Structure formats: C-alpha cells, structure tokens
Amino acid sequence: MSSTSTALPTGTWNIDPTHSRIGFSVKHLGISTVRGEFRNYEGVFEIGEDGSAKASGTVSTDSVDTSVPDRDGHLMAPDFFDTATYPEIAFQTTSISAVDDDTYELAGDLTLRGITKPITLTAEIGGAETDAFGNDRIGLEATGSLNRSDYGMKFNQALGSGNLAVSDKVKLVLDISAVRGS
C-alpha cells in the first residue's frame, strides 16, 4: 500500500514468467560469482486509480536452477532452501515510494524458510507497451540483497585464506514483464 503514484498505468498486472526472470547471485570462495534463478513463480502488481500501489509474489523453492544439478540438489536440501519443509518464498510490499520519475523503493516482507524479515528492493520502471497480440504490458527491473543467515541458511566452510565457501550476502535481480489482468 502506498499513496505514491507510479509511472505505471492503473490496473492489475500479472507477471509473465515467459518473459521474466527471478535471479540471484552469490560469491563462491570469495573469488567468483555463482548465478542462479527460479523457474516457477508468480506475482502481481496492483496500481489503483487513487495512486495506491502494491506488489506480491511467490517462488517455488524446488525450481532453483544454477545449471549444475548437484549444486541445485544441495540448494534444495536442509542446508539451504529445505524445499521439503519450505516449498515457497513469499514477498508482499508494505510500501512503495518514489525515488525519482522512473525509480521506486519497494519495501516489504520476505518470507523464506518460515522466517519473515523486511527487505527493500529498488525498482526501475522500463515502461508500458502493447505487444503484437494486443496485450498491455509493463516492465521493470528490481534489485536488492539479503543475508541468507538471517533466514536460517548457515551452511558454510571457512577456508585457509579467511574467505568462506559461500558468501552470506545474496544479490537479487528480478527482470519483470507483466500483463494487465482481466
């Protein structure tokens, strides 16, 4: 909920997973970056006539994909997402505020492994367009970060150099295309 009007047209906008990506990256051994994404997710943006705006979404944790099946299996295990116990990650905005004409801060609650913590994402509006099939679309890119240990993901190994096998900080990148709902 927010009283800040957005640069997006009013309506209900459903994320189109065919043209979107929910990604993350984390440092490995302190020297390289491992990237991954989730294949199954859904979300909605609601932009009201009164200038109100809210967003929410869920991600299926068992859809994690880093292009390495053994690593994906470990990420689904209790050391990380524990997909058998916690099948979803959920996000719900608590406020949306304008930074400038095309940039917004989406403050909200992220629930991961049964733990809910506040998080702020920075969203840059890509714009609005009608596609070749007559569907109204909006686009945006949202970025942010979290500490995985805040959500009970404490698996790690200290290396002789002082680096850790897996960084605590996880960067998030959401490339979103959404279609106006009926």
Number of residues that this document lists for the chain: 182
Residues 1-13 as b or e (16 or more Cβ within 10 Å = b): ebeebbbbebbeb
Residue recorded with tokens 């009283």: 3
Residue-range domain boundaries for the chain: 11-180
pLDDT at 146: 97
Contact 106, 123 (CB under 8 A): yes
In this predicted structure, the answer to whether residue 182 has a pLDDT above a threshold of 70 is no
Q: Which is more confidently placed, 159 or 109?
A: 109
For 140-163, the pLDDT digits (tens) are 999 999 999 999 998 878 778 877
Range 11-180 has CATH code 2.40.128.110? yes
pTM of the shown model: 0.89
For 51-61, the pLDDT digits (tens) are 889 999 999 99
